Each structure stands twice: as C-alpha cells, then as structure tokens.
Chain A
C-alpha cells in the first residue's frame, strides 16, 4: 500500500471541511424540510399539497420522501448544524469515491488535480436538498461498476439495493440506472461478463419501481429534454461564467484527449450521453465532469509520461502525516466556526411579522415560496419551488400578474389576492402603488403591499 492510497480519505476530509463551511439558505431546502416535518407529524407520506393556496389538495410526486425525511431527521437531531453536517458528509462520500475512481485510472497527482477541479464544479449542487444524495451515490455506483467490470462481478449484487435506496431518496436515480445500463450494454456488446451485468441492470430497473411515488423514467427523461429554463439551475450552461467555464474545460479536455489518444467503447458509451446531459442544464454539468475525471486524468498522465518518461511521484512520509494532521485541524476548525444558520438576506425577512399577522391570499415571489412555507407556515403560498405542482395554470397566472400581461387585474381578482410580496423592481409593484395599494413593509429586498379596502 502506497501513501497515495490515503488520498481519497484526504480529499473527502477537505471536501467535508469546505462543505460544512458553506452557508445554507437554498429556497428549496425549506419546503423539503417542511415536507419531512409534515410526514413525521402525521405519520404518513405527504401525497398532496398542503402548503399553497393555489394547489391545495392537488396530488404531487412523493418520490423524494426518504430524502426529505433524512434531511428533516438531521434538522431534528442538530438543527441547522445537523443539516450542514449531513451536507458535508454526503459531499465527503461523493469526493471519496470519485477520488478512488480517478486513482484507479491514473497516478495520484493527475487523479487528484482533475478530481479537485470536478469537485469545484460540483459545488453548485452542494445545496441542502435530496439532490445531494445523488451527488454521493453517483461516484459510489460508478466505482462499484468499474470494479465489477475489472472482474469482481460479485459486487454487482449491491447495485439493485443501491438503486432502490437512491430511487426513494431523489429523482436523480435515473442517472444511476443510466450508469448501470451503459456498463451492461458494454458488457453485452463485448460479451464480457454479459450475464451478471445484464442481470444487475434488470434488477436495478425493477428496484427503481419500488417507490411510493417515483417520478418514473419517462418523467425523468421528459425533465431532461424539456427543463424549465426560467430556473437558473435548469438553464443551459453559460461557458463565460465560472461553473460553465470549468464544465467547458472538462468537455474540451475530453475532446482533445479523445483526438490525441482515443479510448474504449465504454468511454464512448459513458461520456457521449453524459456530455449531452451536461449541456442540457447547469445542474447536470457535474455528472459529466465526474464521469470524465478518470478519462482525463489517465490521458494527462499518458501525455506526461510521453514527455517525462522517468517521472516518479513519491511523497515523503512526514509530508503525508503533516497533510493528514492539517486536514484534521481543518475539519475541526471548519466545524467549530461554520455559520450553521442559513443566510437569509435574499429573503423578505423584514416582512415576516407583518405577513404572519395578516390574512387572505398572498401572491409571492417564486423564489421565496420555500422560505415562506417554513418561516411563515400560517400563510399558504401562491407558488414555490415545487414547480410541477403549479404547471401550467398557476405559473401562467403568476407570470401574467407579476409581469403585468394583459388580464393581470382579472387574475388578481380571480385569485382574491389580498397581499403581494414581491421584489421592488417588479412591474406589478409599480402598478399596484399607482392603484393605491398600501405599503405594509418595504426594504431593498422586498415590498409587501396590501389591497385597499373597498
């Protein structure tokens, strides 16, 4: 065993330290928490909306029920600190396994360099939502399949249970199924371990149906091919922004190395569809980067050795011990100083008290729906991040009113909107002020307007 074998542990520790220090505050965290809380309090799955005034009682997917329960469990156990520790632990698991995957393909310096970059890109998904389980499970399943392909096919028995767990944690399980299908296809096409891989794939697909409200593969595919573009993370990658640029680096490095040294059938089957997926929406970019990490690390190391054939990468033991001790200190310091409470400066915090005291139907900013569900539970929201629940009618009505399309007044009346809580630069705010709506609360973030009494 070489000193580099400790690298996955070190990378995981560093990722943990960074992830635990990140401020929370994602709008979707709140409604996931609220869903988990409702399920615990009522002892049943949350199968219909109870948080909005516009879709009350409407059924919606409960495919992430387990993920929501785990997140709420972390909150119950440790408050916001529990959420942060869960986040850091899941990130560390993902970092650990992707480093192992990279180390199987390339020497440590190259594996670590590319892994670090991939993890930096993946930071955009380190939010306190069930999608973090996908971030942890994707590298785990990838490594498992790679090891099985190398001959240890008995490990494939772990695939169906993992997919079963994943299916109930987050809709990203479709990525896991895709990984299994790709490895199975390669095994069948090349007739190497075809039977165990095919069996694992069939059982995994079967396991994915054992879920009280799975999105289903069709829904996952529909989501990938027509993502709701107005949500930032669902927008296409912008390569002129930092995350998009790093994604482009991965894509172009993959292309350049493919031109330079080619690859295998498995490389093509794995990288081509995941590259497309990454191009389809920002939230999918990290999965291509993770899958391409071993390929790029291996290619770079080959180029290096062509240039410097005599290179050896050996770390002295004191360095290894020193780095390990430093990481332990870093983790301890991060946990001790982490700002566990979520950052809520982007939310209408100043309006909370007034909002709680008022009554009637509320029209709120889309991005603030989750926050309001958790922080002002007595006021049902108009709309929130559970998007599909509100498609198409509620979202259309929302846009008609907020962006002042013709008919906005009728919509305002039809929904009996008593208060409006929006950003100050919304067209509707200017119009309602002209119409004499009362400003109940105002700050640079939000404006709460009350309909005048007739």
Chain B
C-alpha cells in the first residue's frame, strides 16, 4: 500500500519555497563553485590551484559531482539557478522525510508531520549551497529504501547500490550510508536467512560502488579522518550543544525516541533489531559534530510516526488504570488499536490519484514562485567586497579563513592563504595561519618565513590590533575588515 502523497508534496512545496527566501551567502559555496567551473572546463582537478600556501599539493576530488552540479545550475541560471537547485533539493528532502514517516502509518498524516518536525526544522540549518545538501537528500532516500526493505522489499535494497554510487561522488557523507547498508544487510540476514546471500551480494556491491570515484581509495580515508577527528574550531564541526536551537531539536528527536521506546508496549518483536541497527549508529554519528545532528531526526521520524502514538496510548492507559473514570472522560478519542490505523486503503482509487496530482502541481507552483521571487544576487555583506579592487595580485596575502572561498571566486588573481577546504592546509599552513592571526609567540618568524605582504582580517583579530599599534600602513578599512600592508 502506498501512502497518499498530498501531505508530503505540499510540505515539499512549502519547504522549497522557504528555501528560496535566503540569498546565496555561504562562504564555502564559492570555492565549490570555482572547482565545479574548473571541472567543467578542464576535468577533475588533482592539485590545489587556488592558494599560494599549498599550491600544487594534492587535493581530494571527493565531491566532484556535487560541485559540478552546483556549477551547472549556476551556468544555466546564474544565482537564480543556484537557488533553484537548492530549493529543488530541499523540497525533495522534506517530501521524502515526510513520506517515509507517513508510510509507517498511512492514515495518520498529522502524526507523520509531527514526527518529522524535528527533522524538518533541523534540516533548515543545512539548506546551504553545498554538496552536503545532496548528501542529506541521499540519506533521506536511503532511510526510505531501508524501511521499505524492512517491509519486505528486496528491490529497495538493490536500489541502494546505485544510490551509494551516486552519493560517493556527491559528498563524503556516503560513508554513513554505506555503514547503514552493511548493518541492515547483517540484520536482514538474521531475520530473513533464506535471502542472506542476496543481501550479502548487495552489501558487497555497495562497498565496491564506493571505489567508483575519481578519488578512489582515498575517499575512504577522507571520510574516516573527517569523522574521527573533526576540526572542532570550525563551528559546524563543534560538539553538539543541546542548549542551542539545532541541538535542542536533535535532543527532542533523541529523547522522544527514547521515551517512545521505553513506553510503547508493542515496539518490539521482529523489527526490534532493525530499529536498533538504524537508530543507534545514526545517533552516535549525530553526536559527533553539530553538522551531523540532522541525520538522527531524519532516521527517527518513521520510528516516531510508527510508535509514538502507542507510547502516548500506553501512558494514558496507565493513568486510566490509576485514576479511573475522570481521565477516560477527558480523552475519549485516544487510539486503542494500532491495527485499526493501518487498515489498508486502495490508493489507486481515482480520488486519491487526483489529489496527488493537484498536490504535485501546487508543490511545483510553489517552487517556481519561490525561484521567481528569490533574491537575484548573493548576499556578500559578510565579506570584504570593497577590498577587492585593492587586493594585490599574486602570493603574499594572509586572509581570514572564512573569506577564503569568497576570494577564490571573486579575486582569482590573488591566491588565498587559507580557505574552507581546510584539509589541504592541515597542519602546516593552518598552524601558521593561527600563529599570525592569534599573535602566537612565533608570529613574526611565520610572517617572514611565509613572505606575508598583506593581511586582510577582522579589526578585532589580534594581528590587526597589533599591526595598527605597530603603525603598519592601512590600505583599506571598514568596521568589518581591515587590510594592512606588512612593512
């Protein structure tokens, strides 16, 4: 049985519309865009060509397809094309999350939406123009496929192979997907031993698929290294904080799952192992870094949709037993039989198909309207735009980490000291960057060793304060940035 698509489609349309409201502004987007442009022009790059500190050093093309997609959208529709791609991806992501939850309890769309809310709200923080968003979409698709596998569809499991292949070339988060495929394969082999060879074959095919990328074996070391040793100084790689909004949303999903699992009397039986192998590893991954928080609510939404009402019913039953008639009168509509919620419905009836069709048109209209009215230009207020004409050509500029991507795109004649690609700069260039910008004890030696001629930093950075105090010539200055010439 197929759940009616009206609710997922309408929410997808709304999310797509909402995603078009923000202009292009992500710093990392610009270097992704530059790489995409160079891939389109010259093929996949293997060495760095954007910096002067690590120029010629090998770089990992592990997101090449995502970058190419971003550039293709830009080439087709300029900044509107970028926003359209973002909106399309966000719409698909939200639609699939809600659909997956709805598939667990098709006659209860309100429950599905409620269960998906933490995922929807938290995904908002990932609506950026980066390959990461494609990775998130792949994750949502994988969860939908794996839950279909739990319901008995082997075809859904086979579809994981092309998904993993695509994902591996889009973004490094594929490693999470591969891990889930492997543990579900083991779980299926235990639950459904008659098909264990087929599950094993799919799992092996998925592993092989991860090597079909220009990065080859290195894509594994990249993902693994990033996962096990996230650079904590990058905000999104920081430890998850449940006192912030993203952390709070994550904790709502996590604790709702725990409460549901403790209280729901029927959340056991044959599917126990499946829920454990999906939810427990994803919960751990989400706990590793702020940017990973969104994975858990997506994985948990179907479970919450499926068992949340039963947990609620159990609490009400407990209260009824204790407090008798008073409560029974107060909550006459509480569900008592889960099976009744799952009464099959013939989704091929014309009225459902018409409703689905209308919802699809509405969603598409919202997407188009959103793109048509989206901001036409990027928001560059966080970047040193006015400094661009005065930037010296060639090597010698020390720029703020956050501005590297912007400079790569807007000032190609001035190679950067450091940018959001981070890993090519680890450890030496990044250490030197920190030594200078934070005025460590060896900052003067680094200045000389690297041959830094100009610094473009925030006025509150220690090097700016010290440079001004030392009388370095100020080439340009605003409240947000200052450019100093090193004597």
Taking Cβ atoms with an 8 Å cutoff, the residues of A that contact B are 189-192, 225-227, 229, 235-240, 244, 248, 251-252, 254-256, 258-265, 267-268, 271-272, 275-276, 279-280, 403-406, 408-409, 424-425, 427, 429-431, 434
Contact = CB atoms under 8 A, between A and B. Distances in A.
Contacts of A239: 239, 284, 287-288
Contact of B318 (A235, A261, A265): A265
Interface stretch (B267-275, B348-356, B360-368): B267-275
A276 B242 contact: yes
Given A255-B280, A259-B272, A272-B262, 7 more contacts: A191-B322, A239-B288, A260-B272, A275-B258, A405-B460, A427-B440, A430-B440
A252 B462 contact: no
Contacts of A424: 441
Contacts of A259: 261, 267-268, 272, 275-276, 279
Contacts of A408: 465
B268 A430 contact: no
Contact of B441 (A190, A240, A275, A430): A430
A261 B268 CA distance: 7
Interface in B185-228: 228
Contacts of A431: 439, 462, 465-466, 469
B229 A430 contact: no
A267 B262 contact: yes
B263 A255 contact: no
B100 to A, nearest CB: 18
B127 interface: no
B32 to A, nearest CB: 26
Contact of A280 (B243, B283, B318, B439): B243
By secondary structure, the B interface counts as helix
Contacts of B240: 236, 279
B304 to A, nearest CB: 12
Contacts of A430: 439-441, 443, 466
Contacts of A237: 239, 287
A425 B263 contact: no
Contact of B439 (A255, A260, A427): A427
A262 B262 contact: yes
A39 to B, nearest CB: 34
A427 B288 contact: no
Given A262-B263, A265-B318, A431-B466, A251 B242 contact: no
A404 B242 contact: no
Nearest to B274: A259
B392 interface: no
B251 interface: yes
Contacts of A227: 243
Interface residues of B, number: 50
A189 B280 contact: no
A240 B286 CA distance: 12
A230 to B, nearest CB: 13
A240 B263 contact: no
A45 B426 CA distance: 53
A404 B465 contact: yes
Contacts of A262: 261-265, 267-268
B81 interface: no
Task: Give the most central of B230, B272, B466: most A CB within 10 Å.
Answer: B466
Given A189-B318, A258-B262, A404 B441 contact: no
Nearest to A404: B462
B252 to A, nearest CB: 9
Contact of A229 (B230, B241, B264, B469): B241
A431 B439 CA distance: 8
A338 B272 CA distance: 49
Given A262-B263, A404-B462, A255 B279 contact: yes
Interface string B456-474: 0001101001100110000
Contact of A260 (B276, B284, B288): B276
A272 B258 contact: yes
A189 B320 CA distance: 10
A237 B272 CA distance: 28
B242 A280 contact: yes
A300 B465 CA distance: 59
Contacts of B466: 404, 427, 430-431, 434
Contacts of B268: 259-262
B438 interface: yes
Of all A-B residue pairs in the complex, the 9 with the closest CB atoms, nearest first, are A427-B439, A258-B261, A263-B262, A427-B462, A191-B322, A404-B462, A236-B239, A268-B262, A259-B261
